[in-house]
Amino acid sequence: MEASMNPAAYGTPIGPRAALLQCACLVALACLISAVFGPRPLWALVADSGSVPWQFAAGAVSGCAFAAAALIATLRFKPFARFRTHVLALSNRLDFGGWNPVWLGLCAGVGEELLFRGALQPLLGVWWSALLFALVHYGIGGFKSMNLMKWGYAAFLFLTSLMLAWVRIQVGLIAAVTFHAVGDAIVFLALREVAERQVSPVEGIQ
């Protein structure tokens, strides 16, 4: 194993309160960047994104599909076994108790998408905003010391950001927020289930 599977190794897990605070900071930063440097205020971008029900539906469906594909590839295929170990170790940094996976996914979707797709993408373009998205996960991704699996995780974040950018352009900003929030919540719920089965003496992962 590349990282300890013991949650205590990462200190106090990140819960909804910390995630909400981070979300508020990201939204405030997004509003500030859009107001000072952007072609339009952030609220105008959200308002002009198109039909809200259609965006919620498109974002939810695409987020579910993307999360399902990522989970199947990571949890079911043997070539991804070491990558799965790395992701499960990283998940120890999050508090997955109760409804926390849903709240964590919602906070990440709102805060990160308003900043990266709403404020930064119009200024930096798709590629640079995607690269910055991967880089800001330096801490949670364990990028202090890189190896093949961590490079793979960084590439996954970059490709995910490109997918979100495409959703933002083709459907709208609300769709990108929904995609991110729903996808993260599903992944977090699945990782919690896998982690619980791993520590069970009866239901170990084969």
Beta-bridge partners for 113: none
What is the structure's pLDDT at 196? 79
Exposed/middle/buried for residue 188 (C-beta within 10 Å: 0-12, 13-18, 19+): buried
What is the structure's pLDDT at 3? 41
| Overall residue count recorded for the chain in this entry | 206
Hey, where are the domains in the chain? 12-199
What is the structure's pLDDT at 38? 85
What is the structure's pLDDT at 151? 79
What is the structure's pLDDT at 204? 44
d(CA 93, CA 201) in angstroms, rounded, equals 23
- Tell me the average confidence (pLDDT) per consecutive run of 10 residues in the chain, 206 residues long: 42 83 96 91 80 94 95 82 77 88 95 96 95 82 64 86 95 95 94 77 44
Please give the torsion angle defined by the CA atoms of residues 29, 175, 87 and 132, in that order, rounded to the nearest 10 degrees: -40
d(CA 48, CA 65) in angstroms, rounded, equals 26
Q: Phi and psi for 49 in degrees, rounded to 5? A: -80, -10
